[in-house]
Structure 1
């Protein structure tokens, strides 16, 4: 019962952090950036300042869909960031470029995470079904659940490897926008706060994944809380 309760707590925490993140970005998206730069311009300037010439900045649909794709070397900015001139847009665009800088500099945790992606895609496709089958067959054989727990452990490891990648990208972003007059002091504080809440979603996800892993492991080991 104890581990199950912890899993529920992290599910609720994840929902709250997600709501908090969206409200922060909505608030900071409504405050015009004094420098007047768009998210696209900020991204292009940051890439240029780091000598990165083989990464494209493109627009993608949706809200909070911003990401860096190392496979095709693109900084993908959502439509709410690409042409926006706000503290939120500055934070997001610089953060995604932070990943591009990591890629260019062969940042170790990013390389490790990227190497995990092929195995993770396979694990994610079959993991829940294997775990479900394993739970039903637990009294007969522990093998399916053991395999499922192993696959879930891989996804949990990926969640924790993601943390230093995200924190480092935010650190690079804030350092760059702060020293290149992209934002003023007040806007810097807003950008830092926005990225803090974005990072919290990854922290909660990682801890929630660990709690769920422990729950499945307890079933496998025959413990009931």
Structure 2
């Protein structure tokens, strides 16, 4: 049966890595959420300070619900921070806030990987959903063309994940440099923020590995279906 196909083993390492990455970011963020910075800035104040230092006075910093839902919205040019980051003076919160301002700076400078990622979002949203429909139809009805189309469309999701990696790593590198240069964090506080951002980066690495593993599984299933 399809659901018990041995090709599922391809996904197991990726699923393990994803689970580990999620536990890592949660535990690391919680650890450094309990350590307040000496400077006493909240995440919202850090975001505002860094945005203003780059002339982004017109980019508002807003509160958003949820946990670790922090993001920069390039379409509306808005910084959104969760309450755990917005109000907190912890090392973890400041690191996250600075990371999101890194995305705002990328947008301001038209950083190529960010521009590419933003431009393919609508394509990925459409193709990733359609890919499964086409692949399953092709698999169950033995239609090679649909199988191939499903695989090609799913490849867009893999490309999106690959492009996301330099975007996220670059934003974190910018954040750590700015936090030290602006005197927002000091000494071991910088190391703590780096630990938080490194753990967050691993979730993107895990997502990329999972997407690649899923693509390989689709290719294996497609080949097995043709052989049968």
Aligned mates of 1:124, 1:29 — CA distance in 2:
35
> What corresponds to 1:55 in structure 2?
59
TM-score (norm: length of structure 2): 0.93
> What corresponds to 2:135 in structure 1?
131
Deviates more, 1:156-165 or 1:13-22: 13-22
SS state at 1:36 partner:
coil
Q: Which one of 77, 83, 86 corresponds to residue 87 of structure 2?
A: 83
- Asked if residue 194 in structure 1 is aligned to residue 185 in structure 2, the reply is no
> What corresponds to 1:154 in structure 2?
156
- Asked if residue 28 in structure 1 is aligned to residue 32 in structure 2, the reply is yes
Deviations 1:88-118 (A, max 9, x none): 0111000000000000000000000011011
User: Are the aligned partners of 1:3 and 1:211 in contact in 2 as well (CA < 8 Å)?
Assistant: no
SS state at 2:76 partner:
coil
After superposition, residues 138-217 of structure 1 pair within 5 angstroms as 140-217=142-219
Deviates more, 1:9-18 or 1:124-133: 124-133
Residue 2 of structure 1: how far off its partner (Å): 7.8
> What corresponds to 2:47 in structure 1?
43
In structure 2, stretches of 5+ residues that fail to align are none
- Asked if residue 98 in structure 1 is aligned to residue 128 in structure 2, the reply is no
In structure 1, stretches of 5+ residues that fail to align are none
> Could you say what the CA RMSD is over the residues aligned between the two structures, in angstroms?
1.5
TM-score (norm: length of structure 1): 0.94
